Amino acid sequence: MVYRRTHQVVKRLAARRSAILSAARDAAAAGGMAAVQIAPVAVRANVAAGTVYRYFPSKAELISELITEVSRDELSAIRRAAEAAPGPSSALAAAVTTIAVHVLSQRKLAWGILAEPVDVDVTASRLASRRDISGELAMRIDAAVRAGHLPAQDTALAATALLGALHEALVGPLAPSNLDDPIKLRDAVQTVTLLALRAVGVMDARARGLVVQATTPAKALVGA
């Protein structure tokens, strides 16, 4: 009488759940958050609309999890890049460049995660996403300050400002439209990285060096 989920079923359920999330992510990457609607997502995931609700209590929850997932990936990429750098200033430059490159290579998705109007309330997960990434940046800035490479400052505010600058310059409505050209893209990444580093107090000459250094390993990504 006791119905117990067999291993196979457990696996299928998990697969389905992640298929739905993937479908949502694909939709967002292709058409922004506006394209993340229950019915189309269900079709992409090969399930019925109602089934989505067996895995996610609401559309808000689905999108929130999507945001969380993307954000987690982003954060770990930033950490990886920063930790591979030789010193605190390089790490900061690497973190900034990584954000810029990632955001550019998935512009629609980034815009959806960050700022695109959505009909359900996802402020909480957006806030968390920003807090995490901004926090990571703040730590890097702080490390550079402690190393004596930067003047003392309100690192949290600075990190937030940097994020805003990157987003607005690269995926906001005023972002240059020619960023499909890899060369223009690299230039844009370098320009905003330079701005960001100078903003927190890196001397111009040194900043230019760091930018070149940080952009080099990211080239592959930019190309992708």
Partner DNA sequence: TGAAGAAGTGAACAACTATTCAGACTGAAT
Partner DNA sequence: ATTCAGTCTGAATAGTTGTTCACTTCTTCA
- Contact residues: DNA, CB under 7 A: 1-6, 8-9, 12-13, 16, 37-39, 46-51, 53-55, 58-60, 119-120
Q: Which is nearer to DNA, 68 or 191 (CB)?
A: 68
Taking the CB of residue 183, how many other CB atoms lie within 10 A of it? 9
204: left (phi over 0), alpha (psi -120 to 50) or beta: alpha
Given 199, 209, 213, 217, the residue binding a copy of itself (CB under 8 A): 199
Alpha helices in 84-181 (DSSP H): 88-105, 107-114, 123-146, 155-170
Work out how close the CB of 18 gets to DNA at its nearest, in angstroms, rounded to a whole number.
12
Q: Does the footprint of a copy of itself cover residue 148 (CB under 8 A)?
A: no
For residue 106, count other CB atoms closer than 10 A to its CB: 18
User: Which of 137, 200, 210, 214 is the binder for a copy of itself (CB under 8 A)?
Assistant: 200
Nearest-approach distance from CB 172 to a copy of itself, in angstroms: 6
Q: How far is the CB of 62 from a copy of itself (least distance, A)?
A: 17
Positions 106 through 145 that interact with a copy of itself (CB under 8 A) = 115-119, 123, 126-127, 130-131, 134
Site string for a copy of itself, 168-197 (x = CB under 8 A): xx--xxxxx-----------x--xx--xx-
Residue 123, both tokens: 């402020």
163 forms part of the interface with a copy of itself (CB under 8 A)? yes
Max alpha carbon distance in the chain (Å)? 75
Least distance in Å: CB of 151 to DNA? 47
For residue 162, state whether it binds a copy of itself (rule: CB under 8 A). yes
**Pick 59 or 130: Cβ nearer DNA:** 59
- C-alpha 31: how far from chain center: 17
Q: SS3 sequence, 30-71?
A: HHCHHHCCHHHHHHHCCCCHHHHHHHCCCHHHHHHHHHHHHH
d(CA 27, CA 41): 7
Q: Closest separation between CB of residue 104 and DNA, Å?
A: 27
d(CA 220, CA 224): 6
* Phi and psi torsions of 174, nearest 5°: -95, 0
Rounded alpha-carbon distances, angstroms, from residue 32 to 24, 35, 108, 114: 10, 6, 5, 11
Residue placing its CB nearer to DNA in the complex, 36 or 179: 36
Residues that bind a copy of itself (CB under 8 A): 115-119, 123, 126-127, 130-131, 134, 151, 153-154, 156-158, 160-169, 172-176, 188, 191-192, 195-196, 198-201, 204
